[in-house]
Amino acid sequence: MMDRRWSEAEASYHAKILDSLDPDPSAIVLDVGCDDGAWTEKLRRRIGVPPNQVHGLELVDERAELARRRGFHVRTGDLEEEWPFSDESFDVVHANQVIEHVKRLDHFVSEVRRVLAPSGVALVCTENLASWHNVAALALGYQPFSLTNVSTVRPIGNPFALHAGETPERESWQHVHVLTLAGLRDIFVAHGLAVAASWGTGYYPFPRRLASRLAELDPSHSHFIAVSVRPQPLRRRQSRARSQLAAATLLGLRST
């Protein structure tokens, strides 16, 4: 039954991602961690852009080459390093189940901000540390389901893990930072981005229709979570900078 609930949650999740993206035939798109480009192709069709307006960044060169065959401009590179793109070069930045794999969380978010155009939008989606099935696992003394893939040997600390007994193919597939919805929102706000929307899908152990409704009412405990973020308006950034300068000046006066 767990496999079925996972499949239902994942199907709702993918549908919600596509629904969150507005068609824009003029957009320049970046898919971070694009793998073989199969999901990127669905994003492209939803946004309504030709393949030559889609860029990707992928760690594994063999997977990147498969994405290139679809007509996408894909760079092979490590997300832990500076991304090989110019500042403010993308109207849409998408990262699906990528942020939980990176070691340098602040670097990832700052790079999203750097490459995002002033009027652009970034959609970042991941698993939810506070989902009820993770909370239940912790209450029973087990590793949260979303943090069982922390070893190259096999899933660790939870005999009910989805891929229990299987050997992970790559170390890069391990989870490093699994966030709550509050944490996902806050890390982008901390880096000067505005959260335009956030949502959740999937709600264990309930079936798809009821799960969709419950995730809508209580996204903080849903299976998957996402944020849609935009650069802060210039006026708002300037106002915040003035406030910070005033506070620093006041502290300086008090220390003299």
Condensed to tens digits (0 to 9), the pLDDT of residues 55-90 reads 999 999 999 999 999 999 999 999 999 999 999 999
Band (pLDDT 50/70/90 cuts) for residue 204 is confident
The CATH number assigned to the domain with range 2-255 reads 3.40.50.150
> pTM here?
0.87
Phi, psi of 106 (to 5 degrees): -65, -40
The amino acid that residue 206 corresponds to is F
Burial environment of residue 25 by CB neighbours within 10 A (0 to 12, 13 to 18, 19 or more)? exposed
Torsion of CA 108, 109, 114, 115, to 10 degrees: 70
Using an 8 Å Cβ cutoff, are 116 and 90 in contact?
Answer: yes
Determine the Cα–Cα distance for residues 168 and 180; give it in Å rounded to an integer.
24
DSSP code for 174: S
* Interval 155-176 mean pLDDT: 81
Q: What number of CA atoms fall less than 13 Å from residue 65's CA on the CB side?
A: 3
| Three-class DSSP labels, 41-110 | HHHHHHHCCCHHHEEEEECCHHHHHHHHCCCCEEEECCCCCCCCCCCCCEEEEEEECCHHHCCCHHHHHH
- For residue 151, CA distances in Å to 164, 173, 175, 208 come to 12, 10, 9, 31
Q: Report the distance separating Cα 166 and Cα 63, nearest Å.
A: 21
Mean pLDDT of 207-235: 90
Picking from 138, 113, 59, 87, the residue whose alpha carbon sits closest to that of residue 227 is: 113
Residue 112 phi/psi, 5-degree rounding, is -55, -45
- Residue ranges covered by each domain of the chain: 2-255
d(CA 101, CA 99): 5
Q: What proportion of the chain, given as a percentage, has pLDDT over 90? A: 74
How far, in Å, CA of 144 to CA of 102, rounded?
A: 18
93: left (phi over 0), alpha (psi -120 to 50) or beta: beta
Q: What is the DSSP letter of 232?
A: P
Local confidence band at 91 (pLDDT 50, 70, 90 cut-offs): very high
